[in-house]
Amino acid sequence: MKKLMLIAFAALACSCFAAAISPPSTAVATRLPDEKQEPYWAGKGFWNRRHAAKLAEIAVGPKEYDCVFVGDSITHNWEGWSDPIDVVKVTRQYEIGKLKFPNGPGRKVWNEMKEKYRLLNLGVGGDSTQHVLWRMENGEMDGYRARCVMLMIGANNYQPAEDVVAGIKACVDKIAEKQPQAKILLSPIFPSKHEASHPRRLFENRVNAAIRLFADGKKVIWVDFNARFLEPDGTLAPEMMPDFLHPLERGYRIWQKAVEPYLVTAESVWIKGAEKEMNAFYGFSATFEAQNGDK
């Protein structure tokens, strides 16, 4: 009897220990449920269709990309929603909200960039960190080499801040595993909500302050242009993001301006070229020397 009690206690202790070290849900690869039926949601099965379409695009696409963009609907909106079912549903979302929001507000900018660079868009509307992880583990990071991978994720995560940070770290690590030669361009979660003091904005600020520490200036580069979205008083204008979440074309122009310096081909000019452009863009001296250990 005593021996059985010891065995039971040991088993309980092991299970408690395992639970204590289990990663948060944000860092566990998970499919996005397709059964969401809200009136504003994209067509049933859109997530599977988008994933399948991207695998097909990768299969016939180039074997090397200048940059792969990974994220949620904000990244997805670079090229817009192509499936007819999804276009109808997404358009209805903004009709319900009485917002003037085109399908694919970044499409014009994206097409301009694609004339100069080999780009792949791996953004999917509604994704959180765990869904991005699943897609990267299931083919979307295979079959090609990327010189840069740009990651902006977390806008749909509403777990505790430390769990969201863990999820973003898991995404960074997965990119490094799948594309070891690539520079990872890590962006903060874009600002949302109108007021700078809104609890969600403060939450985003906490997450962003933590994930910034993942950047070493060599493998992982911190690319932060959030201030360009905001008014001088820190508010977010509807002319920039009509729903205070998704940028219009002018927001994608800002993104383009920030990312293009990193897309030059010559590795020798990569940092210095980006430094020059970023200095001109922001109007102050960039900190590439500090990030890269240059003296």
Instruction: Answer for the pair 29, 130: CB distance below 8 angstroms, yes or no.
Output: yes
Instruction: Answer for the pair 127, 153: CB distance below 8 angstroms, yes or no.
Output: yes
- Which residue of the set 51, 76, 131, 246 is catalytic? 246
Whether the per-residue pLDDT at 48 is higher than 80: the answer is yes
Statement: the pTM of the whole predicted model exceeds 0.75: yes
Clarify whether 15 is annotated catalytic: no
Structural domains of the chain, count:
1
Is 45 contained in some domain?
Answer: yes
Is 5 contained in some domain?
Answer: no
Clarify whether 246 is annotated catalytic: yes
Residue 157: which CATH number?
A: 3.40.50.1110
Whether the per-residue pLDDT at 133 is higher than 90: the answer is yes
Most confident by average pLDDT, 25-39, 67-81, 212-226: 212-226
Residues shown for the chain: 295
Clarify whether 243 is annotated catalytic: yes
Poorest-pLDDT segment among 49-58, 133-142, 271-280: 271-280
pLDDT digits (tens, 9 = 90+) for 192-239: 999 999 999 999 999 999 999 999 999 999 999 999 999 999 999 989
Domain residues for 192? 37-263
Instruction: For 273, list phi and psi in degrees, rounded to 5.
Output: -65, -40
Is 277 contained in some domain?
Answer: no
- Which residue of the set 73, 128, 187, 192 is catalytic? 73
Is 16 contained in some domain?
Answer: no
Is 14 contained in some domain?
Answer: no
Mean pLDDT (whole number) for 8-26: 55
* Residue listed under structure tokens 């999804």: 86
Is 30 contained in some domain?
Answer: no
Instruction: Answer for the pair 245, 155: CB distance below 8 angstroms, yes or no.
Output: yes
Whether the per-residue pLDDT at 249 is higher than 70: the answer is yes
- Which residue of the set 142, 216, 243, 294 is catalytic? 243
